[in-house]
Structures are given as structure tokens and as C-alpha cells.
Amino acid sequence: MMSFTTKAYIRWTVLAISLAVFLLAALASLAFGKASISLAEVWGALVHFDPESTEHIIVRTSRLTRTLVAITIGASLAVAGTLMQALTRNPMAAPDLFGVNAGALFFIVFSATFFSVESLTNYMWIGFAGAFVASVFVYFLGSIGEDGLSPIRLVLAGAAISALFISFTQGMLVLDEQRMQSVLFWLSGSVAGRNMDMLLPVLPFVVISLIIAFLMGKPLNILMSGEDVAKNLGQNTLLLKLLAGAVIVLLAGGSVAIAGSIGFLGLVVPHIARGIAGPNYQWVLPLSGLLGATLLLLSDVAARLIIAPQEMPIGVMTALFGTPFFIYVARKGVKKSD
């Protein structure tokens, strides 16, 4: 029991440190940008808001929304990635790599181009639908035939699906040059210029999905010890998988509807979280949510500062740190079975 308590102690410490880093990242996100605002001002804006002060207005309007969006999206993508890696037993699974993000994106741009859908609530539903179609397709490829495509092959199939959806999306955007300019930034993923009205309709879905995901930790642990074991212990594995699938679709689709396709977060964060917390999903899931939010906040701050006064799409930032990691995992190799 001694080792257990030590482990638990370490875990709580790690969680506390992660939380502290997360809060610092959130503060940085409120403070840095085109106009640098001192932490005292940030604190003031949050605690006793003064409508006369420009700094306070910046913090309360654009920066605060932006920070909340980054937190929501970061946590969503990371948790979706963790669930995908667990369900497919594939260390290279992630919503963007398997084409789920691209599917959502394609459906949204398609409906905007051909059916003039404009409201964000509709984007959200269409994003869910797109993520759903792409997920079903990937799942189908993974289970077709005797034991479906091997992990690496599934990654390649995901790349092909993404290429297909992205190419169609690009085609539609070239048709409509005016829209392209405005969508281009959104396409490569961005949390800038979103307002609360865009976040609020998606938020309930994301929050409920996250809560369900966190509650899934224990059954997921059992499932990870083997499908047969789980069944013998009386677990309804099909139900669990369906539920996890639905959560992935809601989290990935919702994220794309707000922020476009932000890559690599869903791949990288689960690895870090598992590295810190071990194989216990009761810890891994919340931790990856926290780390995902932190990482996206930091990426966003970097995106604002790196070519100031202009802004880099945040998707570029995540790709810059994500691809070396992707290559590292690819080199480490993916076992064929398990």
C-alpha cells in the first residue's frame, strides 16, 4: 500500500503543478498581445471592472473570450485524442490525423458555399455531422474484414481521408474568392476574433461531453485490460465504445465549428498525460484536458507575439511543435497488434 500512497501523492502534486501552469498560461493569454497589459491591470479588470479603462475593456472583451475559447478547444481536442488513442489502441490516433477534423471542416464549408448556411449554431450541427461521418468511416476501415487495417495503415487511411476532404474544401474556396480570404485564417485554425455568441451554443455540448469522458475513466481502464476481460466482468463494451465515439464526435466537431482545424494537439497531449499519470485513465483523461488547454493557451500567446503586430494562425503553431512529436512517435513504431 505504501507505493500506492506515494503514487497518489505524486499524482496530486502533478495535478496541482499542472493546474498552476494552466492558470499562469491563462493569465499570460489575458496579458500579452498587441497591447501588453500588466498583470495588475488584468487582475483589476477581472475583479473590479472599470468601463472607462481601455485596458480593462480589452481584457474583458477580446482577450477573455479568446482565452475561454482556447481553453475549451484545447481541452476538447486533447480529450478526444485520448479517447481515440484508447479505443483504437493506436498511439497515432487523433481527430485531425484520422480525418475527423477535415470531415467537419468540409461539411461546414460545403453547407456555407452551397446552402448559404451562416449562423454558428448551424455550423455546429453540421460540424457534428461531418465529424460523425468521418469517424464512422475510419471505424469502418478499422474493423472491416477479419481484424481490419493495422494501426499504421489506419493512420495512412486517415491521411488520405483528410487529403480528400481538404482538397474538396480548397476547391470550393477557390470557387469563391471573397469567402476564401475570410475562411483561410479559420481553416488553418484560429481562436482569434471569436465572440461569446460563438462559444456559448457549443459550450454545453463540450462541457457535458467532457464530464462524460471524465466519468468514463474507470470503465475504460477495464476495457484496456482486454475486451474479453471487460465482457466477463459484465461490462457492456459496445455501449461504452458508442458513448466514447459520441463524445469524440461532439468534442472534435464542436471544436472545428468554433476554431477551425487545429492539428496535433490531440496527438501530443495524450502521450504527455500518459507519460505523467501512467496508464490509469481516471487520471489521464482530466490531466489531458488540463494539459490540452494549457498547451493551446501557450500556442495562442506565441501565435500573437511571433510576427506581431500580425497574427499567426494557431494551427501553424501547433503543427510546428506537433510534427517533431509525430515523427518521434512514428520512429518509435506502432506495434501491429494491441
Partner 1 sequence: MTDHFTIRNKSNAVSMQIHKRSLFILTGLALAVVAAFLVSLSAGSSYIPLGTVVQEVFGESEHAFVLNELRMPRVWLAVFVGAGLGVSGLILQGMIRNPLGSPDIVGVTGGASVGTVLFIVYLMGEVSIQWLPVASVTGAGLITVLIYLLSWKNGVTPMRLILVGIGVSALANAVVTMFMVSSESAVASKVYLWMTGSLYGANWQEVKIVAPVVVALVIVSLFFTGVVNVKQLGDDVARGMGVRVQFFRVILLALSVGLAGAAVAFAGGIAFVGLIAPHIARQVLERSFGILVLGSSLIGALIVLLADIIARTAFLPSDVPVGVFTAGIGAPFFIFLLYRNREGMSE
Task: Choose between 159 and 272: whose C-beta lies nearer to partner 1.
Answer: 159
Interface size with partner 1, residues (CB under 8 A): 49
CB of 60 to partner 1, least distance (A): 27
Q: Could you say which of 77, 149, 230, 265 contacts partner 1 (CB under 8 A)?
A: 149
25 binds partner 1 (CB under 8 A): no
Neighbours of 264 (CB within 10 A): 25
CB of 142 to partner 1, least distance (A): 11
Neighbours of 293 (CB within 10 A): 27
Contact positions with partner 1 (CB under 8 A) in 48-107? 92
Q: Could you say which of 159, 224, 240, 246 contacts partner 1 (CB under 8 A)?
A: 159
Rounded CA separation 263/115 (Å):
27
Supply the DSSP symbol for 310.
Answer: S
CB of 148 to partner 1, least distance (A): 8
Question: Of 3-11, 52-60, 149-157, 210-218, which segment contacts partner 1 by CB under 8 A?
Answer: 149-157
320 binds partner 1 (CB under 8 A): yes
- Position 119: which residue type? S
Residues 6+ positions from 299 with CB-CB distance below 8 Å? 314, 317, 318, 321
Q: Could you say which of 32, 43, 110, 168 contacts partner 1 (CB under 8 A)?
A: 168
CA nearest neighbour of 82 among 272, 238, 255, 312: 272
Asked whether 231 and 237 are in contact (CB, 8 A), the reply is yes
Question: Of 3-11, 18-26, 202-210, 319-327, which segment contacts partner 1 by CB under 8 A?
Answer: 319-327
Rounded CA separation 155/92 (Å):
7
Instruction: Give me the half-sphere count of Cα atoms (radius 13 Å) on the Cβ side of residue 44.
Output: 14
- Alpha-helical (H) ranges within 32-150 are 39-47, 54-58, 64-88, 100-114, 120-143
Q: Could you say which of 51, 145, 234, 275 contacts partner 1 (CB under 8 A)?
A: 145
Q: Could you say which of 157, 212, 240, 305 contacts partner 1 (CB under 8 A)?
A: 157
Rounded CA separation 277/159 (Å):
29
Contact positions with partner 1 (CB under 8 A) in 205-264? 263-264
336 binds partner 1 (CB under 8 A): yes
333 binds partner 1 (CB under 8 A): yes
Q: Could you say which of 16, 40, 175, 215 contacts partner 1 (CB under 8 A)?
A: 175
Task: Choose between 97 and 216: whose C-beta lies nearer to partner 1.
Answer: 97
Burial label for 332, CB within 10 Å (0-12, 13-18, 19+), is exposed
CB of 269 to partner 1, least distance (A): 17
CB of 183 to partner 1, least distance (A): 11
User: Residues of 174-197 as b/e, b for ≥16 C-beta within 10 angstroms?
Assistant: eeeeeeeeebebbbbbbbbebeee
Look up residue 138 and give its three cell numbers.
475510419
113 binds partner 1 (CB under 8 A): no
Interacting residues toward partner 1 by CB under 8 A: 92, 141, 144-145, 149-150, 152-153, 155-157, 159-161, 163-164, 167-168, 170-171, 173-175, 177, 180-181, 184-185, 188, 263-264, 307, 310-313, 315-316, 319-320, 322-323, 326-327, 330-331, 333-334, 336
